[in-house]
Amino acid sequence: MIKPRKKRRNRYQEGTLRRLKGYLRTFHGFFIVFALFCFVVLLAAGLSRLYHEMISAPWFKLEEIEITGIKQLDRFDILNAMGLKRGQCTLNISTEQVAERLKKLPAVREASLRIDLSGRIVVEIVEREPAAIVKCADKNMQMDLDGILFSEATPGANGALPLITGFCGSNPNKGDPVAARTLEQIRELLSAIDSSKNWLSGTAINECRWSENGFTLVLGERAVLVDIGKGAFEQKITKLRKVINTLNER
């Protein structure tokens, strides 16, 4: 029986086919990468055009600014600090950045903003509340409980506020803080005066004078000096009340 001859492999053809398949795979990969690149370019162009259409749309224009919470501050100062313009696109406005600009105003304690879809910005302001008048050289400055000298006091505008002297020798800038080493003492004294204001209303505290030894109160029309030193002011003012009552009974 004669066995059939096996067909010889054509190594040249097999090599050519392998190279062809390799070229096809390379072309396929290149085509996918190119297609993805084109897609990304077209998508970016489309989004860019959409963005420019949106920022030019009338419903994203700034039409109104509403400011709430202002008592002593001028509306113009608020608007000037915000740095916004009518017709500006609200999409380009950072509420956090605008709020930080407003907080740089010495009399602003807190500020927050929100943007309505109607093109209106609502600004909420919390002003600093004066707790005392601090005499600095030739100026009387309003100070809040944070120790910030935020505004120059007008004559007679804050007659009920305690006048503190002796620790501010030069003219400060608005927004400067008082020295940290005395702020705690000032806060404690103001708290003691406030808790005793019912009976102190008949005994005027003309001045709270600060020195290295602490506070000295200047009382009444005769400018009586009462040294109360540092700390424990509430207990000391209570003792002062007893002394005044005893003197009044004589």
Percentage of the chain with pLDDT > 70? 73
Q: What is the mean pLDDT of residues 12-23?
A: 60
Q: Which domains does the chain have, with CATH numbers?
A: 58-127 (3.10.20.310), 132-249 (3.40.50)
Segment among 33-47, 118-132, 133-147, 199-213 with least mean pLDDT: 33-47
Mean pLDDT of 158-164: 81
pLDDT-derived band of residue 24, with 50, 70 and 90 as boundaries? low
Whether pLDDT at 8 is above 60: no
Read off the pLDDT of residues 83-94 as tens digits, 9 standing for 90 and up: 998 888 888 889
Per mean pLDDT, which range of 148-152, 161-165, 193-197, 244-248 is the poorest? 244-248
Asked whether the predicted pLDDT for residue 73 surpasses 90, the reply is yes
Q: Hey, what are 125's tokens?
A: 């302001």
d(CA 105, CA 127): 10
Higher-confidence position of 44 and 114: 114
Question: Can you tell me the distance from the alpha carbon of 46 to that of 54, in angstroms, rounded to the nearest whole number?
Answer: 12
Higher pLDDT, 229 or 9: 229
Q: Which residues pair with 121 in a beta bridge?
A: 65, 115
Residue 98: name the closest of 119, 112, 118 by CA: 112
The pLDDT assigned to 151 comes to 92
Burial letters for 115-133: b for 16+ Cβ neighbours within 10 Å, e otherwise?
beeebebebbbebbebbbb
Per-residue pLDDT band at 200 (split at 50, 70, 90): low
pLDDT at 47 over 90: no
